[in-house]
Structures are given as C-alpha cells and as structure tokens.
Amino acid sequence: MSRIGKLPIIIPDSVDINYTDSKITVKGKFGTLENQIPKSILVTEDNGQLSVKLKEQKKDSRALHGLYRTLINNMILGVSQQFDLTLILKGVGYRAVVQGNEIILNLGYSHPVKINIPSEIKVEVVQNTTINLKSCDKEALGLFAANIRAWRLPEPYKGKGILYKDEQIIRKAGKSGK
C-alpha cells in the first residue's frame, strides 16, 4: 500500500467537494476543478478529512493510489490558495509584456514571440524581466510555464535564457577552459 495514499487530506472550510463514482469536483474561492477517478479507487469523507482507499488490491490500482491522492490534494490546495510560479528572463534585451490575452516576449529573435494565455492562468510582468504566473490548476500552470521556457532554455556558457526562480544553472568553461 502506498505511504502517500494512506495520508488523509484535510479539507478547508472554504472548499466544497462533490464525488460520484468516477468524477470528483472541487469548488473554492479561486475556481472549480474536475478530475476523473478510476473505478478501483474509493474516496470517502468524514470529519472534514478526505481519505483515498483501494476497492481491490491489484497491481494497477496500487500504482494509482498515491497518484490520485496527490492529484486530489493539489486540487484542494489550488482552489483554496492558488499555485504560483516565477520565471526570470536573463539576457541582454530580453523582456516580456502582457497585451490582452497574449504575452509578448522579446528573446533575441528577429521577431517577438506571442503566446496565448489560457483563461485559468493569470500573468503579471514585473520590471520587464520577471513573469509571475498564478492558477488554481497546477498541471496547466506547469505546462504553460514549460511552453514559455521552451522558447529560450538556459544555456550553460553564459547562463542566458528563461529560468525558474531560484534555479541554479551549472556553468561550463568556454573554449579556452578558463
């Protein structure tokens, strides 16, 4: 049995949870999230705590036990607190601007890069080089941040590119082996 799957999930007062056989819906002050649950997993609620259990002990269902407990916990945390990520543009002339529902990045290409912002993600640009992303959906937030970062991955020689906050780039010596 999964060690993570055995842990109970504490439900805050501001969160409403509806569970049917194969679907869980979580509502909070920052939004509503839905997820499909396999039939081999049972979700029960008692005394303000949610517990995720297995209906049958099969190899496939045991593998999903901890995963779905974590996914449900992330849904509850997202609608009650929100997740946030910070990206830093490092390089000469690199900057970002939000216009409408697009983020426009100048990353040293001959053209600006325009990326559509999904409706569930809030984007804020601070000082042209710091991008703050907020969302209640952790998966969508990480995917959007990875799509932005894919335009200029950090390179190991000068450390330029799009970095996550507090990310350390392992630097390499140049040609002369300094």
Question: How is the chain split into domains, by residue range?
Answer: 3-81, 83-164
- Phi, psi (deg, nearest 5) at residue 117: -95, 125
Q: What is the mean pLDDT of residues 35-43?
A: 89
* CATH of segment(s) 83-164: 3.90.930.12
Q: Which of 24-28, 150-154, 169-173 bottoms out in mean pLDDT, i.e. has the lowest? A: 169-173
Fold of the 3-81 domain: Outer Surface Protein A; domain 3 (3.90.930)
Per the structure block, which two tokens stand in for 87? 């990206």
Q: What is the pLDDT of residue 123?
A: 96
**Chain Cα centroid distance, residue 82:** 10
pLDDT for the residue 116: 96
Q: Which residues contact 144 (CB under 8 A, 6 or more apart)?
A: 117, 118, 121, 133, 135
Residue 52: per-residue pLDDT: 87
Indicate if the pLDDT at residue 144 is higher than 60.
yes
| Residue 5 scores a pLDDT above 60 | yes
- Residue 177 clears pLDDT 60, i.e. is over it: no
**In whole angstroms, what is the distance from residue 176 CA to residue 53 CA?**
59
pTM of the model: 0.89
Instruction: Over range 124-144, report the average pLDDT.
Output: 95
**Average pLDDT value for residue range 54-83:** 88
Per CATH, 3-81 and 83-164 having the same topology is answered: yes
**Which amino acid is it at 145?**
A
DSSP structure string for 11-62? PPTT-EEEE-SSEEEEEETTEEEEEE--TTEEEEEETTEEEEEESS--HHHH
What is the average pLDDT value for the chain, to the nearest integer? 91
Greater model confidence, 3 or 143:
143
